[in-house]
């Protein structure tokens, strides 16, 4: 554990720097009361690397990441998921704090309140732990300022050069994970023919808790072969044996003494080449292609491989379906270029092998990826506004995808998205007004957008039909029937679907249907047909004629059989004539 201690400043003996020193001393005194000793540690026991901790401000409240959705606060009475942080080694004696959301705490360079929303470590995400006694610490940002609480813990900001009670925090270690850093080894060596390699050297491995480290060097003879421990090779450095033709790969394992969990260094290669005269270069291929849904990939192209002696090159394209899977030769794929088959779904990795004709030594190009990603799928269910609800709903039902964790939904054409866990299988937008909604879906990483179409939420209404208008004769009755849903109420006060009426005059009847918040109206008119006819009596002299005229509306029928309104008669004696007027059937 490396410590750097700043003791009290002593008075300078040189007058030429006295004024400067006093000024600096005054500044220092304002930072820590009474010139208290400031101690910074590379691995601070109050914040051990790899540990899960909760941090309490001097207001007695715990710091919360707020899940990265807004500025951090110091206002929690208890420790929940958002109040847990993992201490991460940020290098050079600095630490970083990772929230439970997988994001790092950022000082925001003191320009605004700190947040826990960074996916990568930058300067603003690194802090120096300053021990200030009595198991309290302060956290100094890269801007040279300390994190402090403000507004009763509602916000925190990295903006103060001084340490007061607002800059003090206590630590509660929830659990401690001891990590082992394997160190790095050096000494990749290539030589024409057999040779004695130089010693492989390396930096020390170390445990975050200072435990003793045990080393074991390993070797393998094939790139894809198994590692074998080298007997007696248990030091930081290792001298490989004499190297015959071929390659050997070496790495160094490390573990804490008394444990069985190993970590591994990088790999170095000892290569005794047998092609010292003729070198074969594989060339490069392109290009990686990623598409949402099935597609026909473009042709894979590449630069030519070549041999230093100008010899003929033989190609063989290879493919594998899993990142850690075995490469397989593609039948009849021996050209510089290659056109992959149509891809439904999944990932495929391609490379091109090359060798000199009549030789067995193969070199390989870079690797490209052909990836047909699956589209997210969801069924859309629309719940319309009805008589029992003033708002509608749009529900997305979907399956849990084995390779996805998040899915995004939008109903406003993609302007705003809601992020949902993929295994929740359903999500509902509720309290929606009537109208059109443009539904879209994509994966949580914003890939593979799918337009689910326009969905309309309607105002469902009820209807009622009072039937066709009716005509009756005077003193007749007629039955009116209303067809509809809900409760019926006629303007007569009756509540049955059918009513019988016998109006004396033409009358309009109203029917009302109600259901929940909905109401519907309709009318039906009953026309009462009445008839009247008048004919003036006539006196004539014998042998004369008289014209009789029926006054009234309707179809005319005289007792003489005539159907005109006026008839001419010449009775031989006093005679009574009758006339009938018919309207409708009355």
Are the C-beta atoms of residues 389 and 518 closer than 8 Å to each other? Answer: no
Mean pLDDT of 458-466: 86
In this prediction, residue 22 has a pLDDT band, given cuts at 50, 70 and 90, of very low
Mean pLDDT of 452-463: 85
The pLDDT score that the predictor gives to residue 7 is 35
Q: Which of residues 248, 273, 298 is at a domain's end?
A: 273
Q: How many domains does the chain have?
A: 6
Tell which wins on pLDDT, 17 or 194. 194
Judgement on whether residues 81 and 122 belong to the same structural domain of the protein? yes
Nearest partner of 96 among 64, 119, 76, 113, judged by Cα: 119
The pLDDT score that the predictor gives to residue 278 is 55
Mean pLDDT of 575-583: 84
Give yes or no for residue 379 having a pLDDT over 50. yes
The pLDDT score that the predictor gives to residue 358 is 64
Judgement on whether residues 39 and 111 belong to the same structural domain of the protein? yes
Judgement on whether residues 187 and 153 belong to the same structural domain of the protein? no
Measured from the Cβ of residue 379, the count of other Cβ atoms closer than 10 Å reads 11
Are the C-beta atoms of residues 174 and 79 closer than 8 Å to each other? Answer: yes
Are the C-beta atoms of residues 392 and 428 closer than 8 Å to each other? Answer: no
Residues 322, 325, 326, CA angle at the centre, nearest 5°?
Answer: 135
The pLDDT score that the predictor gives to residue 275 is 55
Q: Which of residues 273, 305, 333 is at a domain's end?
A: 273
Measured from the Cβ of residue 64, the count of other Cβ atoms closer than 10 Å reads 24
Q: pLDDT of 27-69, one tens digit each?
A: 333 333 333 333 333 456 778 888 899 999 999 999 999 999 9
The pLDDT score that the predictor gives to residue 138 is 96
CATH number of the domain enclosing 157: 2.80.10.50
The pLDDT score that the predictor gives to residue 415 is 94
User: Residue 394: CB partners within 8 Å, gap ≥ 6?
Assistant: 380, 381, 382, 383, 411, 428, 429, 432, 437, 439, 455, 457
CATH number of the domain enclosing 303: 2.60.40.10
Give yes or no for residue 486 having a pLDDT over 80. yes
Mean pLDDT of 509-536: 87
Judgement on whether residues 424 and 397 belong to the same structural domain of the protein? yes
Task: Kindly state whether residue 511 falls inside one of the protein's structural domains.
Answer: yes
Give yes or no for residue 147 having a pLDDT over 90. yes
Residues 503, 505, 508, CA angle at the centre, nearest 5°?
Answer: 70
Task: Indicate the pTM of the whole model.
Answer: 0.36
Measured from the Cβ of residue 241, the count of other Cβ atoms closer than 10 Å reads 11
* Joined tokens for residue 549: 């005229």
Judgement on whether residues 328 and 255 belong to the same structural domain of the protein? no
- The SS3 assignment for 340 reads coil
The pLDDT score that the predictor gives to residue 401 is 85
Mean pLDDT of 380-397: 90
Residues 161, 154, 170, CA angle at the centre, nearest 5°?
Answer: 60
Q: Which helix (H) or strand (E) holds 381?
A: strand 379-383
The pLDDT score that the predictor gives to residue 17 is 32
Q: pLDDT of 231-281, one tens digit each?
A: 999 999 999 999 887 899 999 999 988 888 899 999 999 988 765 555 778
Greatest mean pLDDT among 94-108, 152-166, 448-462 lies in 94-108
Judgement on whether residues 383 and 509 belong to the same structural domain of the protein? no
Judgement on whether residues 219 and 311 belong to the same structural domain of the protein? no
For residue 355, give its domain range. Answer: 280-373
Mean pLDDT of 151-164: 89
Q: pLDDT of 119-133, one tens digit each?
A: 999 999 999 999 998
Q: Is 277 left (phi over 0), alpha (psi -120 to 50) or beta?
A: alpha
Task: Kindly state whether residue 22 falls inside one of the protein's structural domains.
Answer: no
Give yes or no for residue 2 having a pLDDT over 80. no
Are the C-beta atoms of residues 128 and 108 closer than 8 Å to each other? Answer: no
d(CA 335, CA 330): 11
Mean pLDDT of 139-161: 91
Are the C-beta atoms of residues 486 and 513 closer than 8 Å to each other? Answer: yes
DSSP states of 151-177: GGGTEEEEEESS--GGG-EEEEEEE--
User: Residue 314: CB partners within 8 Å, gap ≥ 6?
Assistant: 334, 354, 355, 356, 357
Tell which wins on pLDDT, 172 or 572. 172
Mean pLDDT of 415-435: 93
Whole-number Cα distances in Å, 315 to 304, 319, 330, 366, 579: 10, 13, 11, 14, 117
Judgement on whether residues 344 and 284 belong to the same structural domain of the protein? yes
Task: Kindly state whether residue 11 falls inside one of the protein's structural domains.
Answer: no
Measured from the Cβ of residue 341, the count of other Cβ atoms closer than 10 Å reads 11
- The SS3 assignment for 97 reads strand
In whole numbers, what is the pLDDT of the chain averaged over residues? 86
Q: Which of residues 307, 340, 373 is at a domain's end?
A: 373
Give yes or no for residue 108 having a pLDDT over 90. yes
Judgement on whether residues 171 and 190 belong to the same structural domain of the protein? no
Task: Kindly state whether residue 23 falls inside one of the protein's structural domains.
Answer: no
Q: pLDDT of 299-349, one tens digit each?
A: 999 999 887 766 788 999 999 999 889 999 999 999 999 999 999 888 999
The pLDDT score that the predictor gives to residue 437 is 94
Task: Kindly state whether residue 227 falls inside one of the protein's structural domains.
Answer: yes
In this prediction, residue 19 has a pLDDT band, given cuts at 50, 70 and 90, of very low
- pLDDT above 90 covers a percentage of the chain that reads 56
Task: Kindly state whether residue 87 falls inside one of the protein's structural domains.
Answer: yes
Judgement on whether residues 309 and 392 belong to the same structural domain of the protein? no
Task: Kindly state whether residue 3 falls inside one of the protein's structural domains.
Answer: no
Task: Kindly state whether residue 10 falls inside one of the protein's structural domains.
Answer: no
b/e burial code for range 467-495 (CB count within 10 A of at least 16 → b):
eeebbbeeeeeeebebebebebbbeeebe
The pLDDT score that the predictor gives to residue 18 is 32
Judgement on whether residues 161 and 32 belong to the same structural domain of the protein? yes
Mean pLDDT of 488-507: 93
Judgement on whether residues 438 and 338 belong to the same structural domain of the protein? no
């Amino acid at each position: 554990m490396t410590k750097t201690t700043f003791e009290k400043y002593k008075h300078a003996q040189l007058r030429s720097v006295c004024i400067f020193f006093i000024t600096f001393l005054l500044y220092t005194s304002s930072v820590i009361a009474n010139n208290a000793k400031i101690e910074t540690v590379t691995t601070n026991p109050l914040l051990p690397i790899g540990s899960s901790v909760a941090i309490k401000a001097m207001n007695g409240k715990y710091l919360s990441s707020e899940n990265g959705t807004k500025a951090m606060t110091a206002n929690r009475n208890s420790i929940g998921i958002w109040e847990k942080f993992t201490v991460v080694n940020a290098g050079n004696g600095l630490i970083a704090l990772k929230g439970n959301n997988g994001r790092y705490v950022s000082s925001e360079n003191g320009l605004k309140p700190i947040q826990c929303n960074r996916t990568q470590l930058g300067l603003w995400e690194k802090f120096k732990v300053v021990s200030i006694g009595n198991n309290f610490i302060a956290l100094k940002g890269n801007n040279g300022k300390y994190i402090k609480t403000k507004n009763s813990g509602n916000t925190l900001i990295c903006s103060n050069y001084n340490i007061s009670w607002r800059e003090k925090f206590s630590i509660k270690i929830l659990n401690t994970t001891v990590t082992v850093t394997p160190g790095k080894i050096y000494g990749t060596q290539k030589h024409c023919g057999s040779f004695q390699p130089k010693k492989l050297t390396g930096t020390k491995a170390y445990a975050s808790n200072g435990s003793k480290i045990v080393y074991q060097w390993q070797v393998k003879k094939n790139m894809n072969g198994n590692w074998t421990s080298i007997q007696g090779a248990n030091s930081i450095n290792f001298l490989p044996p004499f190297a015959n033709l071929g390659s050997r790969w070496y790495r160094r394992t490390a573990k804490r003494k008394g444990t069985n969990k190993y970590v591994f260094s990088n790999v170095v290669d000892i290569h005794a080449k047998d092609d010292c005269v003729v070198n074969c270069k594989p060339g490069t291929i392109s290009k990686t292609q990623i598409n949402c849904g099935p597609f026909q990939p473009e042709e894979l192209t590449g630069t030519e491989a070549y041999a230093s002696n100008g010899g003929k090159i033989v190609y063989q394209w290879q493919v594998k379906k899993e990142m850690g899977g075995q490469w397989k030769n593609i039948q009849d794929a021996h050209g510089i270029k290659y056109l992959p088959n149509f891809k439904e779904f999944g990932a495929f990795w391609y490379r091109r092998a090359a060798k000199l004709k009549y030789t067995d030594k193969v070199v390989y190009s870079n690797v490209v990826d052909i990836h047909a990603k699956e589209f997210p799928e969801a069924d859309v269910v629309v719940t319309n506004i009805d008589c029992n609800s003033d708002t509608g709903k749009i529900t997305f039902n979907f399956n849990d995808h084995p390779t996805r964790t998040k899915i995004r939904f939008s109903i406003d054409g993609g302007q705003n998205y809601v992020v949902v866990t993929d295994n929740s299988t359903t999500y509902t937008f509720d309290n929606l007004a009537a109208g059109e909604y443009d539904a879209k879906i994509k994966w949580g990483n914003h890939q593979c957008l799918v337009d689910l179409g326009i969905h309309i939420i309607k105002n469902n209404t009820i209807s009622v039909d009072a039937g066709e208008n009716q005509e009756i004769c005077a003193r007749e009755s007629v039955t009116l029937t209303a067809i509809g849903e809900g409760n019926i109420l006629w303007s007569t006060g009756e509540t049955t679907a059918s009513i019988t009426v016998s109006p004396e005059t033409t009358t309009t009847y109203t029917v009302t249907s109600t259901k929940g918040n909905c109401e519907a109206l309709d009318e039906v008119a009953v026309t009462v047909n009445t008839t009247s006819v008048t004919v003036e009596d006539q006196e004539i002299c014998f042998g004369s004629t008289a014209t009789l005229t029926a006054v009234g509306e309707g179809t005319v029928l005289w007792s003489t059989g005539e159907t005109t309104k006026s008839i001419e008669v010449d009775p031989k004696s006093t005679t009574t004539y009758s006339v009938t007027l018919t309207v409708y059937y009355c």
